[in-house]
Amino acid sequence: MTIVLGIETSCDETGVGLVRDGELLGEALASSMDEHVRFGGVVPEIAARAHVSALVPTVREAMRKAGVGPKDIGAVAVTAGPGLATALHVGVAAAKAYATAWDVPLYGVHHLAGHAAADALEHGPLPERSVILIVSGGHTSLLAVGDLARDEVVHLSDTIDDAAGEAFDKVARILGLPYPGGPSIDRAARDGDPDAIAFPRPLTGPRDPELGFSFSGLKTAVARWVERCESDGRPVPVPDVAASFQEAVADTLTAKALLACERQDVRELVIVGGVAANSRVRSLAEKRAADAGITLRIPPMRLCTDNGAMIAAVGDLLVRAHATPTPLTVTAHPTVPLTRAQLT
């Protein structure tokens, strides 16, 4: 069985994982998040420089934790896109160097396929057919997925504007909560009332596309509400705003995800990506899936946000599917949509 080393550098996390036959052997993660806090978002150049200095130590740490040496590694997988161009280039160049030095095949991997594959590390092989809701900082999509390593991924819907995670990050800024916004809002919402403010549920009207997503209007609704509060001289009830906003997002995401399962006649729903770490998204999805008799799979929180294990997991699926390795001419694809798990 081949041990695959996976490298992830699409945003601010330098992630490395080692996977063999669906089993995570070890992983390590370095993050430049603290360096971005004062800018309120990821600064690509800072992220890229941090990847350059963190990459080799993170690879070494993951290998040490897995108890493997260079001779044990049979393939290298790397996020080739989408993501920040400067950040992606660091991982792609490093992966080529390792693959060349160790004389093993290289697999370019789509970052979002990684989010989906992460769940297989926890819950075993992905179902033959499933609906996957990907909710991250840059993407919000409902996908019909078969064999992730072999089949094309069908997009049932993609957000028409902001991604769910982006909305969390922007609303956190409006509320003066620190970056990254998702965890800050999740925390603030614990002390708030989710029914305090009736924020809109985007694209849920009778004339709207039933699986469509849009989060820009919801973010604006929160901004207007906060502005009105401030102009009236009232203190902003941050926990209530956070809880009510979070409820609107969780309600919309989970309702549409379950509807997609019904429309696709699929009994398995997988929710992945950074926003799948949200406590309310998790609890509401669990309740609604149970009510609908749908089997729900959500990776543990540490595998929801970006990491290297998920990229190794895709590499492992590709190796086992006997996919042709990616040529060493592969480069970064900052905006590539997810149609296949492998990128060349």
What does the binding site for ligand KG4 look like in residue numbers (CB under 6 A)?
Answer: 11, 136-138, 165, 168-169, 180-183, 186, 273-275, 277-278, 305-306
Q: CA distances (Å), 217 to each of 41, 168, 185, 241, in order?
A: 20, 13, 18, 15
Interatomic CA distance for residues 313 and 158, integer angstroms: 24
Of 133-141, 190-198, 233-241, 313-321: span binding Zn ion (CB under 5 A) = 133-141
Instruction: Tell me phi and psi for residue 198, to 5 degrees.
Output: -90, 80
The distance of closest approach from Cβ of residue 86 to ligand KG4 in the complex, given in angstroms and rounded to an integer, is 16
What is the bridge-based pairing of β-strands 130-135 and 268-272?
Answer: parallel
Q: Which is nearer to Zn ion, 174 or 277 (CB)?
A: 277
What is the bridge-based pairing of β-strands 73-81 and 3-8?
Answer: parallel
168 touches, from Zn ion, ligand KG4, none (C-beta below 5 to 8 Å by class): ligand KG4
217-231 burial by CB neighbour count: b if 16+ within 10 A, else e? ebbebbeebbeeeee
Of 70-78, 122-130, 155-163, 305-313: span binding Zn ion (CB under 5 A) = 305-313
Residues between 140 and 169 that touch Zn ion (CB under 5 A) = none
The distance of closest approach from Cβ of residue 305 to ligand KG4 in the complex, given in angstroms and rounded to an integer, is 4
Is residue 306 at the binding interface for Zn ion, with CB under 5 A as the rule? Answer: yes
Contact status, residue 85 vs residue 47, Cβ threshold 8 Å? no
The distance of closest approach from Cβ of residue 180 to ligand KG4 in the complex, given in angstroms and rounded to an integer, is 4
181 touches, from Zn ion, ligand KG4, none (C-beta below 5 to 8 Å by class): ligand KG4
What is the bridge-based pairing of β-strands 13-20 and 23-31?
Answer: antiparallel
15 touches, from Zn ion, ligand KG4, none (C-beta below 5 to 8 Å by class): none
Instruction: Look at residue 272 and give its three-state secondary structure.
Output: strand
The distance of closest approach from Cβ of residue 276 to ligand KG4 in the complex, given in angstroms and rounded to an integer, is 8
Identified binder of Zn ion from the candidate list 130, 136, 246, 326, rule CB under 5 A: 136
182 touches, from ligand KG4, Zn ion, none (C-beta below 5 to 8 Å by class): ligand KG4
Positive/negative CA dihedral, 81, 84, 90, 91: negative
The distance of closest approach from Cβ of residue 137 to ligand KG4 in the complex, given in angstroms and rounded to an integer, is 3
CA angle 23, 341, 128 (to 5 degrees): 65
**Interface size with Zn ion, residues (CB under 5 A):** 2
In the complex, the residues that contact Zn ion under the rule CB under 5 A are 136, 306
